[in-house]
Amino acid sequence: MRRDTIFAEATVPGRGGVSVIRVSGPDAWTAAERMAGALPAPRMAGLRQICDPADGRVLDEGLVLAFEAGASFTGEPVVEFQLHGSRAVVRAILGALGGFEELRLAEAGEFTRRAMENGRLDLGQVEALGDLIDAETEAQRLQALRGMDGILGRKTAEWRADLVRASGLLTACLDFSEEELPDDLSDEILTLIERTAASVQEEVQSASAGERVRNGFEVAIVGRPNAGKSTLLNALARRDVALTSDIAGTTRDIVEARLDLKGHLVTLLDTAGLRATDDVVEGLGISRARQRAEEADLRVFLLMRGESPDDLGLTVRQGDLVVDAKGDQLTGGVFPVSGLSGLGLDRLLSEISDEIVGRASFVASASNLRQKAALEDAATALVAADQIMRADSGALDLVSENLRISLFSLDRLIGRVDVEDMLDVVFSSFCVGK
């Protein structure tokens, strides 16, 4: 079936130095030739006057690039117009393209979707491309580039090869259903399942770190009312984010500040002071503070003299930091910190950074909840297959079914199965020109 030819602005709308308009599909070159004359050689830029085919008016002068099918981003014939970044120019070119009956404006993410459908990208690479566009920190950029390199697809191909081999051996073994399963076949099937299960489970563990790099780490500052949490947040953020006051219980809701620490996105949370109260609104704030503190990746316990974390009703976890509040008013102290004077702030930021860098040190191939869920489903089915194989070598049909489930989960991971609803969600997050 002949596909539509689509077009859209590929750069951010608005005024700028350069704007790029992309055209993709079977009629892309024909339309471009009618507007710019003879096209330059494929993948070579050429300066052209770009005209309205309806009346021959010159709309702009810019660079034209043509890509043949199989050598473009989408895998289709593509033409890109690199124009002056004027709203009027872009509007005029888009209007001229819209005048072709065989062309239509692209939908959100349609260029990238065509790239996937034409085998140029798998679903993991598509999601990594979205992550790269949204990257705010160096760690996010590097992780997204690893994803775009296709590391998840390559690992999945290795897992699938082992499981397809194991499934094939199981099919052959069904001939022995009334007899003892040959030891050499049984051992090879178990080896393939165990190896794949271990590798997938390792990837599930690293996926948690990858997800945190992608979405950012949360660090909650917890303590009593008037311990200086809001002042500390403002000092760490180097701007007035939270309202400060000598009146205890000023903070009722969660106040957030985003930082880039050693290339990692970190959200600092200033929470309501933890204490018993009869104030309904403050009580709601305290309840929310406890919940966010439990969910945070790590906590900074800001304690007054003589206090312990137990006094706040929270248990110190590995990686949490316990510091002395209002350190500028103390003599001694294990880890004195003051948002007012700046005492201990460099050390505090350094220790938070070191903890986060350590947690993010796993090289993750998967980086979001969808990918992690697919990996978990595959790992669960593989563990079940392994257990059944060891407990009852005659239950080959159950082992085979669990291998089928794991293969389906891996295919879902990289978009090889019919998952239209899921794809609609993924591609809807892209801009029209992508």
Q: Mean pLDDT across the stretch 282-298?
A: 86
Cα atoms in the Cβ-side hemisphere of radius 13 Å centred on 412: 19
Domain residues of the chain, as ranges?
5-121, 126-212+368-414, 216-360
**Residue 141 burial (C-beta neighbours within 10 Å; 0-12, 13-18, 19+):** middle
pLDDT at 366 over 60: yes
pLDDT at 76 over 80: yes
228 is in an annotated binding site: yes
Q: CA-to-CA distance for 384 and 381, rounded, in angstroms?
A: 5
246 is in an annotated binding site: yes
The residue ranking higher by pLDDT, 242 or 56, is 56
249 is in an annotated binding site: yes
Closest among 350, 323, 321 to 337, alpha carbons compared: 323
pLDDT at 272 over 70: yes
pLDDT of residue 362: 67
H-only helix segments in 238-298? 280-295
pLDDT at 419 over 50: no
Q: Mean pLDDT across the stretch 297-315?
A: 89
pLDDT winner (highest mean) among 76-80, 276-280, 357-361: 76-80
pLDDT winner (highest mean) among 75-84, 185-194, 243-252: 75-84
- Is residue 169 within 8 Å of residue 189, measured between CB atoms? yes
For the domain 126-212+368-414, what is the CATH superfamily, name and number? Answer: tRNA modification GTPase MnmE domain 2 (1.20.120.430)
162-218 confidence digits (pLDDT tens): 999 898 888 777 665 555 556 677 888 899 999 999 999 999 988 888 888 888 899
pLDDT of residue 405: 95
pLDDT of residue 311: 86
306 is in an annotated binding site: no
118 is in an annotated binding site: no
CATH class of 5-121: alpha beta
pLDDT of residue 282: 74
Closest among 163, 165, 162, 185 to 173, alpha carbons compared: 185
H or E stretch at 67: strand 58-67
Q: CA-to-CA distance for 200 and 386, rounded, in angstroms?
A: 14
250 is in an annotated binding site: yes
The encoded tokens of residue 82 equal 């690199």
The residue ranking higher by pLDDT, 327 or 382, is 382
From residue 239, alpha-carbon distances to 233, 259, 293, 300, 311 in Å are: 9, 11, 23, 19, 30
pLDDT band at 347, cuts 50/70/90? very high
Lowest mean pLDDT among 3-7, 63-67, 419-423: 419-423
262 is in an annotated binding site: no
Q: CA-to-CA distance for 230 and 146, rounded, in angstroms?
A: 38
271 is in an annotated binding site: yes
Q: Mean pLDDT across the stretch 97-104?
A: 94
pLDDT of residue 421: 45
231 is in an annotated binding site: yes
Q: Mean pLDDT across the stretch 401-416?
A: 91
Residues with Cβ within 8 Å of residue 140, at least 6 apart in sequence: 131, 134, 213, 214, 265
H-only helix segments in 328-368? 345-359
- Is residue 109 within 8 Å of residue 43, measured between CB atoms? no
Q: Mean pLDDT across the stretch 235-256?
A: 67
Q: Mean pLDDT across the stretch 229-252?
A: 70
CATH no., domain 216-360? 3.40.50.300
The residue ranking higher by pLDDT, 79 or 168, is 79
From residue 276, alpha-carbon distances to 90, 283, 322, 412 in Å are: 61, 8, 21, 49
229 is in an annotated binding site: yes
Q: Mean pLDDT across the stretch 126-147?
A: 90
pLDDT of residue 214: 86
289 is in an annotated binding site: no
Lowest mean pLDDT among 82-86, 225-229, 279-283: 279-283
pLDDT of residue 309: 87
- Tell me the residue type at 2: R
pLDDT at 426 over 80: no
- Is residue 22 within 8 Å of residue 80, measured between CB atoms? yes
Q: Edge-to-edge strand order for the sheet containing 298-303?
A: 255-261, 264-270, 217-223, 298-303, 321-324
Q: Mean pLDDT across the stretch 337-354?
A: 92
DSSP state of 393: T
251 is in an annotated binding site: yes
326 is in an annotated binding site: no
Q: CA-to-CA distance for 356 and 296, rounded, in angstroms?
A: 12
Q: Mean pLDDT across the stretch 10-34?
A: 93
H or E stretch at 257: strand 255-261
pLDDT of residue 172: 72
226 is in an annotated binding site: yes
Scan for tokens 């990686």, then name that residue. Answer: 319
DSSP state of 336: B
Q: CA-to-CA distance for 30 and 392, rounded, in angstroms?
A: 64
Please count the residues of the chain.
434
Closest among 102, 89, 91, 95 to 29, alpha carbons compared: 102
Instruction: State the maximum Cα–Cα separation within the chain, in Å, rounded to a whole number.
Output: 84
pLDDT winner (highest mean) among 17-26, 226-235, 310-319: 17-26
- Tell me the residue type at 219: V
270 is in an annotated binding site: yes
What proportion of the chain, given as a percentage, has pLDDT over 90? 49
pLDDT at 276 over 90: no
Return mean pLDDT, the chain: 86
pLDDT of residue 409: 94
pLDDT of residue 434: 63
Lowest mean pLDDT among 87-91, 126-130, 224-228: 224-228
Q: Mean pLDDT across the stretch 62-91?
A: 95
273 is in an annotated binding site: yes
Closest among 28, 384, 340, 432 to 196, alpha carbons compared: 384
Strand 18-24 to 5-9 pairing: antiparallel
pLDDT of residue 391: 83
Same fold, 126-212+368-414 and 216-360: no
